[in-house]
Structure 1
Amino acid sequence: MLVWERPEPPDRPVLAPLSRERIVRAAIRLADADGLEAVSLRKVAAALDVGPMRLYGYIATKDELLDLMVDAVYGEIRPAGDGWREVLRSLAETTRQAVHRHEWLADLIGGRPQLGPNALARGEAVLAALGGVDVDIVMPVVTAVDAYVIGAVRREIAEQRAERATGMDKQQWQVTFGPYLERTFATGQFPALATVVREGAHLDADETFRIGLDFLLDGIEARISG
């Protein structure tokens, strides 16, 4: 029986109150503060001031805990809008916002579909908006948007982690490595790259995400209309 279906044990008033929701919220607070490495059943129990063995009545393994944490964050993702394009844009933007609120989520999304109730509700809202689209291409459309978002946010989170690890923000990094690139471009071996770096617009993460999403949605619209 999956954790979503398994009943919780009755709470015992003589002890500190406990529930799956309290356990998951405590785990999310730990992960938000210090990353996934800060999350274990022992550490969550300590944060709740209960013995670790009490948690096993609610959650059997750390993998179950991670599944519950991901689904709790999926509850923050509520795609909305009029028509499939607005809903897909909302899906992309709210997913990105959730990852930036919970950086650790970037390490867990993707792969096999999430099956928790919040993830299923998110999927239902998106698929309902695509009700008029050929059923054979509905899942490729949603998968394409998810893949774009996952790739974009993982790159953004990687940049944030690099800033913390090196102590240099993006501008400082560019100043540091700029002379090397200029020497390299001066060899004439990379003319296209040199042109883009020197003359192209230098967009921030928000602009880059929005424009890339527009390209993707335009392509989907052209395929659906065709």
Structure 2
Amino acid sequence: MVDIATQLDAATQPRTPLSKERILAAAVALADEGGVDALSMRKIAHALGVVPMALYKHVSNKSELLDEMVDAIVGEIDPPADGADWKTTIRRRVLSARRMLLRHPWASLVIESRSDPTPAVMAYMDSMIGIFRAGGFTIDLTHHALHAMGSRLLGFSQELFEATDQEPAAPPPEVAERFPHLTELVSAISHEGGSVVGPGCDDQFEFEFALDLLLDGLERLRDAA
């Protein structure tokens, strides 16, 4: 049984002041657990032990909250390492961004949904442009590099096909005849569930394969210029 004096002492202990940092930490944790669709001011307030209205002193609405959450997690991406060449630096930062997104699976869709880049995303992209420029890229080639790399700069890729957990069935003969190359590809790949890019595909391998392909190609273009 808890001593009454202990209860009174706990009741008189000062609470940790509510801050934007605490709100964002709670919001990110809830989104990590249940996704942003299940996120609400009420749930955040409950997790922090405050009334929902207390949150609005720090964030005006859910849209602003999502912007702040994006900035908080983008801040987890490793800064550029000293002494590394442009290609190594870009690769390391992109893979750091990917690790961040794997910790926060909801984040890529939220980043895509924002109508304007958040300050942290803009700062990150500005830094990446600076790495290309310092690595000898013209501004024109840097522009093309950003288009080519697209969302991979932030650690994710937009896939051509939606993922499915179902084992693809062998196509009927008339379909196989009409689409022979697609049939050959589907038949050649071993499929298992749980992949983003496709059942049985190694997400990390496919991501790094495309990333290295792009970086090698950009290096050749830079050297040719």
- Distance in structure 1 (CA, Å) of the matches to 2:52 and 2:177: 63
- C-alpha distance in 2 between matches for 1:152 and 1:206: 10
Distance 1:150 1:56 in 2: 30
SS at match of 2:57: coil
2:169 to 178, 183, 187: 178
Q: 1:38-117 to 2 correspondence within 5 Å? A: 38-81=38-81, 82-110=84-112, 112=115, 114-116=117-119
| 8 A contact 1:31–1:104 mirrored in 2 | yes
Q: Percent identity?
A: 31
User: Aligned residue for 1:196?
Assistant: 185
1:27 aligns with 2:27: yes
Task: Measure the CA separation in 2 of the matches of 1:203 and 1:100.
Answer: 16
CA apart distance, 1:198: 3.1
Cα distance in 1 between the residues matched to 2:30 and 2:125: 27
Q: Secondary structure at the match of 1:133?
A: coil
Classify 1:154/1:51 alpha carbon distance in 2 versus 1 (closer, same or farther; 3 Å).
Answer: farther
CA distance in 2, matches of 1:138, 1:26: 38
- Deviation at residue 80 of structure 1 after TM alignment: 3.1
1:214 to 206, 212, 215: 212
RMSD: 2.9
Deviates more, 1:97-106 or 1:25-34: 97-106
Aligned: 1:141 with 2:145: yes
Distance of aligned partners of 1:85 and 1:69 in 2 relative to their CA distance in 1, 3 Å threshold: same
Distance 1:34 1:154 in 2: 22
Distance 1:87 1:147 in 2: 17
**TM-score, length-normalised on structure 2?**
0.74
Task: Indicate conservation of the 8 Å contact 2:70/2:107, yes or no.
Answer: yes
Q: Indicate the larger mover: 118-127 or 45-54.
A: 118-127
Q: Which runs of no fewer than 5 residues in structure 1 stay unpaired?
A: 1-12, 163-169
Rounded to whole Å, the distance in 2 between the matches of 1:109 and 1:85 is 25
Q: Which segments of 5 or more consecutive residues in structure 2 lack a partner in the other structure?
A: 1-12, 191-199
- Which letter does structure 1 place at the counterpart of 2:182? L
Counting matched residue pairs gives 197
Please say which structure displays the higher CA radius of gyration: 2
Distance 1:99 1:32 in 2: 10
Show the counterpart of 2:121: 119
- 1:67 Cα deviation from its structure 2 partner: 0.6
In structure 2, how many angstroms separate the alpha carbons of the residues matched to 1:53 and 1:186? 59
Q: Is the 8 A contact 1:77 1:91 kept in 2?
A: yes
Q: Secondary structure at the match of 2:141?
A: helix
